[in-house]
Structures are given as structure tokens and as C-alpha cells.
Chain A
């Protein structure tokens, strides 16, 4: 299933946040969206997943999601959004309970996603006992449990320290290698974007407009930090973003 955004614009009261976004998300690709903070990245992601309705323009689902898919557009949030009163297992079970699945089928799915995210031994643990990185792994496992057609990831690694971030990036690269999932991955971190994105979309400062789309052809599993081509891409992206970020930084908050 592909996603098509057509001429999306959005405002909060008289604050225009997004303007004229046209974008295609192709199946099996990770599309990274980068931009200065406050430029509307999270807003765009909420519009894509149907948590808010755009003032203008539409988001189209092109093609049917696979038969087994329980929740085509599935989020991974920056703050994990795990229920603190449920164990790891029950947090994942939460998103399956509203579907007509037998308890055995549910248990199979839970065991499967826990195994794929290397969490099996943490089944009965409460979120507060887990490190940030493990919490985000649980959130990713929960997203995988509903077999999404597209994962919508809003700065999933931004709340983590840089070493944990590195580890999780490796896990995501592995996961993509095995499952070829489709994702829209919002981040403000250029090296994250360059490590994970097949396509990188650079937004301008608010109101967010697409100012550049950069494709990276290097396969994900060959993108180590020493790769000079990637360093070059980061440099280009930073040149694009530098002035926007500076201007955005000097803007007054109007909330």
C-alpha cells in the first residue's frame, strides 16, 4: 500500500503550520522527514495517520493493505506511550484485544513480536522497570503486533541517549532487512535520517514546505558512519537546514 499526500495545508487558528505538501510514500521504503523544530513535522504525521484532519488537501491510501493487517497506519511515539499499569505483554495485548482473535492467536502474535524485538524475557515486566531504549523496543513490538502497512514514527529515538539510539538504529536496520516495512520517520537528527532513510524530505521552517527531497541509494546495511558518501549527504542536508533552523530558533513562541 502506498500513501499519497496531495497539497496538504494546515493551520492552528491563525498560525499556518503546513503549506502545499505533496509527497508519495512507496511501499517498502523508509521516508525520513527532517526540518527545524516547530516546522510542523509532528502535525504532518498526525494528518497522515488520521489523528487530525487537514484544513486543505488530502492523504490517500493507494492500494489495499494486506489481508492480515489489523491497523494499517500505526504510530510509534517519541514518549513511547506505554500504559504504566500494564506489563510488557499486556501492553501489546491491549492493541489486539479489540480484534476478534482467539486467546491462543493473540498469545502467538505477542510471543512472535517479542521474539522479533528480542524482548521475550521481559514479558512480565512493568514499563517503569525498563530503560528508555527497552521501552521504545516494546512500543515497536506493539506496532508490529498489528501488522501495519505503514509505520508512522515521530522522533522515536529522540528521547534516548546517543548510545541507545545507535543500538536501536541497528535493530531497525536489521528489522527492515528482514521485513521491508514501510515507514514515515520524522526526526530532527540528520545522521538518523541518513542512516535509515531511503528518501529524505527536508521541510522549511514554519509554515513547513518541502524544500528538498534527497534520495540515498546505499543499502541500509552498508551505511556505517565512516561512509564518506553519507557524510557528504549529511553536509548537504545541513547546508539546506542551517539557515532555516537559525531563523526558526529566533522565532517567538506564540503559544
Chain B
């Protein structure tokens, strides 16, 4: 008490109060229904705008018209034709491209010779928009399916190569050393330590290569195809049939969402150990 500095008119001591909380925010929480609500709200506004004439019918067709076009496509039986043509190309080009990409990426990650020889080539070819090579692919693989699948193949090959060898490089060297210290065979180390360690990177590479493949798919189908979602959209555009064009875009969007969903599911299954 005696040590307190003498103050002329010592102010009254404030009553004790709780420490204020300041740790809030910066912590996004999942709000399940907000996403669908915004989606439905946007489409509702759009429909309302079209019905009241705020959005001109030539400028942008109403969602209901686009839906009608989609339904018509379904009724005519052409929906399946377009979709199956597109999905076949996507499945072939993307899966072969990713598989080859994983193999080449692994060998770059594991062998110095492959790394020294292939990394410069990959770096030089990766940034080329593969659609620019389509005319070349048409000469090499024919105007039919070959050139389209080749475009998708190369489009998904390079990102997968890069993701895979990045993933292999990032595998904990301590784990590999552990494998060696227990005399595991080279093949066991690759199969049981390197591959699972690189798997998260490989899967996120697949995510990227799948969206690149969808973009290339549409572009390739716009250049020369009878069937396919890209061909359907191109034809709709040429005929100024905006409702069909929007219907085609909806198909593309659903394709993208489904692929993303499937990869997400694979990730959750294969990477269960991460949580």
C-alpha cells in the first residue's frame, strides 16, 4: 500500500469486469444449406427476370426454356447419343493419359536418368494448349475418335506427370530409409512406401487433369464431331438456339460436378488414414 505512487485525486477503481473475447472469426464452418439456397435463388431471380421481360428472350432464355430444351433432347433420344459419345472420349483419353502420366511421373521420381532426360521435355510440352495440336493429331490419328482421344490423352498426361513426380519427391525420405533399414526389396519400397506417400499428390493431379480434359473435350468436339456435348453446343450456337445452348452448358456443368464428386469419393476412400 505504501508503495503506491501518491496521486493527487486518485480516480475511482473500475469494478472488475470479464476479459473481452477477441478470438472469433477466421474459422469457416460448413453451412450445408446455404449453397443450394443461393443456387435456387439465382435461378429463381433469372426466371422471374425472364417472365417479367427484364431479361430479353433473345439475350438469355429463361431457365424453364432451357429445361424444356433439355427435356426435348431427352425425349428425342439424342441426349444419350451425345452424352455417351462425350463420356467415352473422356473416359478413354483421361484414364489412359492419367495412367501413362503416373507411370512416367513415377519413373522421373525414381530414376535419375529418366529425370534428367524427361523433365525438360515435359516442361517444354506442358504449357502448349493441346487443342492447338488438334490439326496435327487429325493428320496422325484421323479425323474420327483418334484425334479427340489423343488431345485428351496429352491434356491429362502432362499435369499428371508433374503432380506424380512432385508427390514422389515429397515422400518422407525418413520412411524410405526405414524401409531400407529393414531390408525391404526395392519393389516393396516403391509399392508400399513411395506410391502411397505420393497418392495424395497424384489424386489432386487427377482432379486438375479431369477438368482440363473436360475443357479439351468440348473444344475438340466443336472442331469436328457429329455427336458429343461440344458438337451439340456448337450447333445450337450456329442456329442461335440459346435454350439448347444453355441446356448443353448445364450438361457440361453436371459432368464436371460428377467427375469432381467421384474423385472426392476416391480421395476419401484411399486417403482414409489422413482422417
Contacts and interface: CB of A to CB of B under 8 A. Distances in A.
Interface in B161-185: 172, 174-175, 177-185
B192 A94 contact: yes
Contacts of B185: 98
Given A98-B188, A126-B273, A83 B181 contact: no
The size class of the interface chain B forms with chain A is 20 to 34
B256 interface: no
A98 B177 CA distance: 16
Interface-central residue, B182, B183, B196, by most chain A CB under 10 Å? B182
B274 interface: yes
A81 B183 contact: no
Contacts of B178: 75, 77, 81
Interface string B194-236: 0011010000000000000000000000000000000000000
B175 A81 contact: yes
A81 B196 contact: no
A81 B177 contact: yes
A94 B178 CA distance: 11
A155 B248 CA distance: 63
A94 B271 CA distance: 18
A97 interface: yes
A225 to B, nearest CB: 32
B138 interface: no
A94 B182 CA distance: 9
The size class of the interface chain A forms with chain B is 20 to 34
A137 to B, nearest CB: 16
A77 B174 contact: yes
Interface in B137-179: 172, 174-175, 177-179
Contacts of A71: 182-183
Given A75-B178, A83-B196, A86-B273, 16 more contacts: A51-B177, A51-B181, A71-B182, A74-B182, A81-B178, A83-B192, A85-B196, A85-B199, A94-B179, A94-B182, A94-B184, A94-B192, A98-B184, A126-B273, A128-B273, A128-B274
Interface of A: 49, 51, 71, 73-75, 77, 79, 81, 83-86, 94-95, 97-98, 126, 128, 146
9 contacts: A49-B181, A51-B177, A77-B174, A77-B178, A83-B192, A83-B196, A85-B197, A85-B199, A98-B184
For the complex of A and B, 9 pairs with smallest distance between CB atoms: A81-B178, A85-B273, A95-B182, A75-B181, A85-B196, A126-B273, A81-B174, A98-B184, A98-B188
